[in-house]
Amino acid sequence: MTRSPLEDHLAELLDANRAWGKAHQLLSPIWAGNPNTPRYVSKRVAIRLLEIAEQRSDLLLGMSLMNAGETGIAAHSLKVASVMSGLCTYLGLSPRHRLDSVMTALLHHLGQSTGVVGQQSTSAVAQRSLMALLLSKHSDEGHYRQVLGAFQHGLTMDGTGVPKMDFPVKQHPISLLLTVANDFIELCADSVAGMDINDALQHMSVQAGKRYHPNLISLLKRVVGPAPVGSVLQLKSGEQLLVTQYTASDDDWTLETVALSARVEMRRLKDLSLIHSRIQPKQVFEVFNAV
Amino acid sequence: MIPFQKVMSAVLHDVLASMSKCLSLDLNKGAAGPEFDLLYKQLREELTREGAVELQISASGEISIGAGHLSQSALGTALANAGVREVMFLPDLEVDDLLEFLQVTTALAAKPSTPEADLISFWYEMGPRSIRIVRTSLEAKYLSSAGGKEKHISELFLHLVGRGEASRQQALKTKLAELEGRPPCAIQALRYDDHSAIETMLDEMREETEGSLRRQFTATLMAAMSVHDPVLGGQDFVFLLRRVVNDQMASGDWSDVLKTIRNLEFLVEGSTMRSEYTLEMAQACKVRLRSPKTIIEFSLRVHEQEDASLVPFKLVRWFLGDDPRETWKQCATLANDGALLALLQLFEVCFALEHPFWGEAFETLDPEVKRRSQTAMTAVKALEKDEPSISFEMPVEEPDSADGSAFDALDWLDFEADEEHVNELDASLVAFLDGTNSRFKKDKPGLSINKRGESVPALMIEHLEALEKSLMGAGKGSSRGRNDS
């Protein structure tokens, strides 16, 4: 039986969510034990994330926001890495830099001694990461980028962040990216700020040029879009739509959506009335909630 | 601990109950010799007894389970109970069954108090019907046991793991190569005027070399010594700095090593700008970097160089420390014959072989070390006869009879007076010392001394004086507490 394009959309969404969950399972145990293991595991995960991002970076971002309730380091790192892979893809970074960036995101909490984000100060995390990353027996270019990223990600562009130092250093470009991705995820995480994406983006825009590289904030807005995949939109007409795809071009974007029947039950596909529609920027809508 | 056979029996009962086909173990028969064969035989018997399972040997060294159903299996638990911490599985099962299995083992891993909790890392590759679960390594106590079946079993698994690891690494390399082979995409979805600003940032990344990254890392490391809420201690920084200096030496970035040393000296020098913590960390690093072991490593690195004259004179002198005779004594005592030769050549950068330094340096040595040192010196002299090397001929002065010490008479400080020789070698350092080096700040992003409003020249002069004194060994810590303003 052939599936309609619409069913493919939904299947992709569910597949991506499953892939995200699997990557989470894989990453969960790496914060203990052999310092060489995390690098190895994260490289595999990073490659997978980049493969998905090349096709559909909107899916990864959607998954990150749909899993906002996950509080562990693995989930946090994976979310940051998902945003990072989107940023890198939009930036047109070289494959090598893309891989280094995503790995940096996956490992930026390495060395943290507790399993939950926020239980240690960013400064302590940065300092421990420095040690933990250096303990693995690699010293290639990528490795130095990861160490720099992990240590500097809280530092911010103007050097006023953490760790507080008498002689602050300039952030490496990967650290600039990581700061943006990390802060966005933290602002959206239920356990930290619990903002919705538009509030988070607004909050970050205020600090563009100080805490963040201003152009990276514009880029983030483009990567995230008006409503991430997996969110439910409510049109003025009262119609509810599930976002299944987001694409952006230089001055335009498109949301592919599925209209939902009265009940929003993602777990049972049968309850969805599969009506395909597209939303353009001029249509007014309100982001109702994330599934 | 449950014996492995029992575990296997339990597992097999479970597996066979739901499997339509057989479990086959593919082992590399030739690799491990008779012991391996015995183990294979035992396993085969065990398996056959359990249900006429056919066991075959192939060269792949992988466990694979044929088509069939793996129940929500006690397999993970059983293996964990047996002490197997990580086992590699290459099952070609129904994807859904495997996912179920994954969920079971992961759920187990979430309970920290159970032995199953150690069964933690697994890897799968997405793709239709090709999920791999990999677990590597075994509980150490099995391997450390004197012998017996458990040890054999452990060795078997380690062997399997080794084979699996090799193939995984190969697969990873292939994927990486594939990824790197793809062309970069264009910047998307930004206004045109945003592109140029980001391009600048991206250019920075594109132009990066391993050397420049390492410099950034070193600057960051130095900056990390000045954190306000320290987590890392002296030993940590010693480790980190040694690691980076070793990397720099290994790639022959001598000027980078010198910069690192200079930064370190800057931090060691007492000032109100630096906290006690920073001073302590920097001093710990300085002491450790000048340890005999590091100097021997350094000399070997220099020895590997085709042209040792590329190694900055100042760097060698810094490593030789405040009392080169004592340094020589400590190093020579530790070094083997090969290292002694390299060490002698390193010291020769500062002290020509005819220099009175050597007479005194050898005097204090143990007879055995002295004999070895003299043999090394003869060898170096012979080498130089064959192939005169470019080295610094420092002025040799007659011993001062009144003082009685040739070396003291010559005075280590006099090397400073002979700055002209140094100039040729290290023009950048001289520019730095004169305060004319405009790259001063750029070279040391970690040292933003202008941040607090002090005038750069004043600070620089103060720092340079201190650096000089420190290099000469006369003013170690003497300027501690000096007013910066």
- A218 CB neighbours in chain B (<8 A) are 190-191, 194
Please give, rounded to a whole number of angstroms, the shortest distance from the CA of B282 to a CA of chain A.
14
- B446 CB neighbours in chain A (<8 A) are 167-169
Are residues A93 and B205, on separate chains, in Cβ contact within 8 Å? yes
- Calpha distance A216→A179 (Å, rounded): 10
pLDDT at B172: 64
Helix (H, G, I), strand (E, B) or coil at A246: strand
| Angle subtended by helix axes B313-320 and B254-268, to nearest 10 | 50
- The larger pLDDT score, comparing residue A241 to residue A159, is at A159
pLDDT at A46: 85
pLDDT confidence band for A9 (50 / 70 / 90): low
**Cβ of residue A264 closer than 8 Å to a chain B Cβ:** no
Are residues A127 and B448, on separate chains, in Cβ contact within 8 Å? no
A188-235 pLDDT, tens digit per residue, is 887 777 787 888 888 999 998 889 988 888 888 888 887 788 777 766
Contacts (Cβ under 8 Å, ≥6 apart) of A175: A148, A149, A151, A152, A153, A155
Contacts (Cβ under 8 Å, ≥6 apart) of A140: B210
B153-182 pLDDT, tens digit per residue, is 445 444 544 554 555 566 667 776 776 666
Helix (H, G, I), strand (E, B) or coil at B380: helix
What chain A residue is nearest to B199 in terms of C-alpha separation? A91
The number of residues in chain B equals: 485
Helix (H, G, I), strand (E, B) or coil at A89: helix
pLDDT at A228: 80
- Calpha distance B370→A140 (Å, rounded): 41
The mean pLDDT value for A47-68 works out to 81
> Does A179 have pLDDT greater than 90?
yes
What chain A residue is nearest to B449 in terms of C-alpha separation? A167
**Cβ of residue A208 closer than 8 Å to a chain B Cβ:** no
Q: Which of A240-244, B15-19, B155-159, B357-361 has the highest mean pLDDT?
A: B357-361
Please give, rounded to a whole number of angstroms, the shortest distance from the CA of A124 to a CA of chain B.
6
Q: Which of A149-153, A267-271, B44-48, B427-431 has the highest mean pLDDT?
A: A149-153
A20-32 pLDDT, tens digit per residue, is 777 777 777 665 5
Q: What proportion of chain B, given as a percentage, has pLDDT over 90?
A: 0
pLDDT at B464: 52
Average of per-residue pLDDT values in chain A = 76
Q: Which of A27-36, B337-346, B452-461 has the highest mean pLDDT?
A: B337-346
Q: Which of residues 79-138 of A touch B (CB under 8 A)?
A: 89-97, 99, 121, 123-124, 127-128, 130-131, 134
Counting Cα atoms < 13 Å in the Cβ hemisphere of B320 gives 25
Please give, rounded to a whole number of angstroms, the shortest distance from the CA of B469 to a CA of chain A.
23
pLDDT confidence band for A104 (50 / 70 / 90): very high
Counting Cα atoms < 13 Å in the Cβ hemisphere of B470 gives 26
- Calpha distance A143→A138 (Å, rounded): 7
- The larger pLDDT score, comparing residue B256 to residue A13, is at B256
Question: Are A79 and A168 spatial neighbours (Cβ–Cβ below 8 Å)?
Answer: no
Four-residue CA torsion sign, B443, B444, B448, B454: negative
> Does A45 have pLDDT greater than 60?
yes
The mean pLDDT value for B71-81 works out to 38
**Helix, strand and coil in chain A, % to nearest 5:** 55, 15, 35
Are residues B228 and A165, on separate chains, in Cβ contact within 8 Å? yes
The mean pLDDT value for B478-483 works out to 36
> Does B287 have pLDDT greater than 80?
yes
Q: Which of residues 95-114 of B touch A (CB under 8 A)?
A: 102, 106, 109
Question: Are B349 and B324 spatial neighbours (Cβ–Cβ below 8 Å)?
Answer: no
Nearest by Cα to A218 from B204, B208, B196, B184: B196
**Cβ of residue B117 closer than 8 Å to a chain A Cβ:** no
Nearest by Cα to A75 from A124, A112, A117, A119: A117
Pairing outcome for strands A252-259 and A240-249: antiparallel
- Calpha distance B91→B131 (Å, rounded): 8
**Pick from B126, B446, B447: CB nearest A19:** B126
B110-143 pLDDT, tens digit per residue, is 444 333 333 323 333 322 222 233 332 333 333 4
pLDDT at B45: 53
- B243 CB neighbours in chain A (<8 A) are 134, 139
pLDDT confidence band for B10 (50 / 70 / 90): very low
pLDDT at B470: 55
- A165 CB neighbours in chain B (<8 A) are 223-224, 226-228
By CB atoms closer than 10 A (0-12, 13-18, 19+), residue A19 is middle
DSSP B114-153: SGGGG--------STT---B------HHHHHSSSHHHHHH
Q: What is the DSSP letter of B477?
A: T
Q: Which two tokens stand for residue A72?
A: 């562990």
> Does B219 have pLDDT greater than 70?
yes
Where does residue B325 fall: left (phi above 0), alpha (psi -120 to 50 degrees), or beta otherwise? alpha
> Does B309 have pLDDT greater than 50?
yes
B399-414 pLDDT, tens digit per residue, is 343 443 444 433 343 3
- The larger pLDDT score, comparing residue B434 to residue B187, is at B187
- Calpha distance A41→A31 (Å, rounded): 11
> Does B425 have pLDDT greater than 60?
no
**Cβ of residue B231 closer than 8 Å to a chain A Cβ:** yes
